[in-house]
Structure 1
Amino acid sequence: VATLATAMLLDGVALLVLNGMSISIGDRMSALGNSKLLGIPWLLIVAVVVLVAVGLAMRFTTFGRDAFAMGGNEHVARLSGINVPARKLALYALAGGLSGLAGLMLLSRLGASAPNTGGLQLQLTAVAAVVIGGTLLAGGHGTIAGTVLGVILLGVVANALNLLQVNSYYQPVVTGAVLLVAAVVNEFNRRSGPGH
């Protein structure tokens, strides 16, 4: 709630400061957003490198195992000797850094930005993709591969709606419905899992 409230507050401040206007960056970052290497877009290469690095770190490092342990049960993680406040700070810093990278990638693709370019809609879509991919909302379980499949599913649904010429206002409705179904299934799986 604090994260969403702060995001809305800062979105509002940006709207006030820029008076809702878009700011163009010209062609400064167009190479990243529009160029290809051997026919593969640079944005896809950057995304795959980040996914592989994070996936390996979460699976094969102490930092990753600690993060999953904290997500499963923070109190038990603390009793196990994990420095929970330090790990949390590192995870928030990592999330902030990756969010900044995602923002630069989007900016390089669009060539301009406005205060509402990313916004709450994009944040909720990202959460939807992660939940659809099987990550528990309560924490403790999730995979990079599942998240990638969630992103692909939402992309295919959005593209299908565009190809079928469905009114664009229905896209948030569909994304919200898919997120709601995934959250209910997610909670059902959590309750019916081991130990319940």
Structure 2
Amino acid sequence: MTKQSRDPGQTIQLDRADTRVRHDAGLAGALRSFIDQVRSGDLGMLPVIVGLLLISVVFSALNPVFLAPNNLANLLFDAAAVGFIALGVVCVLLLGEIDLSIGSMSGLASAITGVLWVNSGVPLPLTVLAVLLTGALVGLIYGFLRNQFEMPSFVATLSGLLTLLGLQLYLLGPTGSINMPFTSPLVRFGQLLIMPAWVSCLMAVTPGVLIVIGAHRTNARRAAANLSSAGLSVPLAKAAVLTGLLVFAVFYLEQGRGVPWMFGVFVLVVAALNYALTRTKWGRSMFAVGGNAEAARRSGINVKRIRLSAFVVCSTFAALGGVFAAARLASASQQAGTGDVNLNAIAAAVIGGTSLFGGRGSAWSALLGVLVIMAISNGLTLLNLSSSLRYMITGAVLAIAVIVDSLARRSRASHGRA
């Protein structure tokens, strides 16, 4: 029996076609891949999404006002200020570092805003610029201490917490607070301004469109290089589900006040930071240093520069969060940045999926995490529970998030060895 010969070019084409069929497994393949990913310990944002759904169900059952459109709008107003601080925390946690002074930095930022803008009459844009430069300077100091003296970030930022708190008290003086004009653009932005419905809908549709465009461009580049493509079935399904959820959320919020501009700006900054972390050399270096600093150094990454930039970004975002908090409260006081600000910001980043061990996280984790934290705080307030219970419950949620992260990390390690 003779063996038929096959043309080499035909063999290559058949192999490529077979690879393309295997690669483009469609929705069923994507589902199997997701299940395998969860089994390996890579949970991603799944725990926080499940937690947010459970919180919504429990609090709405205890008090139907929780899911009222106007209450959700107030929740989004409150989430923006803490969210900016949590964004900075994500950057330092990606490197396995910590910043304990973020609350004091935000309090100092609100004090600087009150002193320069209200008391001294400095124009608001210049005041905000001065606040951001102050935050960047503080981050530079932390990075310098960490790089030059190997001072643990825990110690450096703890000393910074006390120093910044002292500066805040000094700037506010004996009165202890500075009230901001209720008719000013900053206060109206923090308490009243709502996006037009068409802008909210546009923001809701944009992520799905970007998913499809990105997938199409990726497939086009792979086709041009004679490589297999994954098809568009999975991206289209993701875009449809995400767009449907976001459009429904916007429609529901529009039954009340609508979507606050304050939260809209926060989402845009989250998207910008996510792009920087996932699409730029700086972002890839952040993950590399967080995963293994020595390996990153040997591969040519300037570890000290990356570490310095992370502290600068963290303190700058904390300062911006202080400006937003001042806008929300219409005042700068000695209590700004104290209390549970540190806890909420760090908990938001960790609960959202950013690992305390470094090397894993995203900007979107801060968004989801801060929604969880603010939902808990808002729901407990509606139930008229004491602040002591709020602290204990939030602390318990943070502990659960860290336990889940540790177990997932152990599962990934054992799966990798297997």
Q: Which amino acid aligns with 1:25?
A: M
Q: 1:14 to 1:30 in 2, by over 3 A?
A: closer
**In 2: Cα distance, 1:23 partner to 1:57 partner:** 36
Deviations 1:42-72 (A, max 9, x none): 2112101110100111111111110111111
Secondary structure of the residue aligned to 1:141 is coil
Q: 1:182 maps to which residue?
A: 401
Q: 1:121 to 1:8 in 2, by over 3 A?
A: farther
Q: Tell me, in whole angstroms, the C-alpha distance in 1 between the residues paired with 2:339 and 2:300.
A: 36
Question: Which residue type is aligned with residue 189 of structure 2?
Answer: L
Residue in structure 2 matching 1:14, options 145, 148, 168 = 168
SS in 2 for 1:93: helix
Question: Which is worse superposed, 28-37 or 160-169?
Answer: 28-37
Greater Cα offset, 11-20 or 145-154: 11-20
> In structure 2, what residue type is equivalent to 1:31?
R
Native 8 Å contact 1:20 1:115 kept in 2: no
Bigger drift between 47-56 and 152-161 goes to 152-161
Cα pair distance change 1:129/1:122, threshold 3 Å:
same
**What is the total number of aligned residue pairs between the two structures?**
196
Match of 1:43 among 258, 262, 280: 262
SS, match of residue 23 in structure 1: strand
Moved more, 158-167 or 19-28: 19-28
C-alpha change, 1:85 and 1:154, in structure 2 (3 Å) is same
What is residue 159 of structure 2 aligned with on the other side?
Answer: 5
Identity among equivalent positions (%) equals 36
Aligned to 1:109: 328
* 2:350–2:356 Cα contact (<8 Å) kept: yes
Once superposed, what is the RMSD of the aligned Cα atoms?
1.9
Alpha-carbon distance between aligned partners in 2 of 1:90 and 1:140, rounded to the nearest angstrom: 16
Structure 1: tracts of 5 or more residues without a match: none
Distance 1:167 1:73 in 2: 43
Name the CA shift for 1:64/1:147 in 2 (closer, same or farther; >3 Å).
same
1:26 aligns with 181
Work out whether residues 23 and 114 of structure 1, in 8 Å CA contact, stay in contact via their aligned partners in 2: yes
Following superposition, the deviation at residue 180 of structure 1 comes to 1.4
Matched, 1:65 2:284: yes
- C-alpha deviations, 1:15-61, integer Å up to 9, x for none? 35534711112244223213223143221121011101001111111
CA distance in 1, matches of 2:159, 2:340: 14
The answer for the alignment partner of 2:300 in structure 1 is 81
Name 2:347's counterpart in structure 1: 128
Counterpart for residue 167 of structure 1: 386
Q: What is the CA-CA distance between 1:182 and the residue it aligns to? A: 1.2
Higher relative contact order (CA closer than 8 Å, sequence separation 6+):
2
Unpaired runs of 5+ residues, structure 2, are 1-153, 197-257
Match of 2:360 among 118, 131, 141: 141
Q: CA deviation at 1:188?
A: 2.1
Question: Does the CA contact (< 8 Å) of 2:296 and 2:303 recur in 1?
Answer: yes
Bigger share in helix:
2
Q: TM-score, normalised by structure 2?
A: 0.44
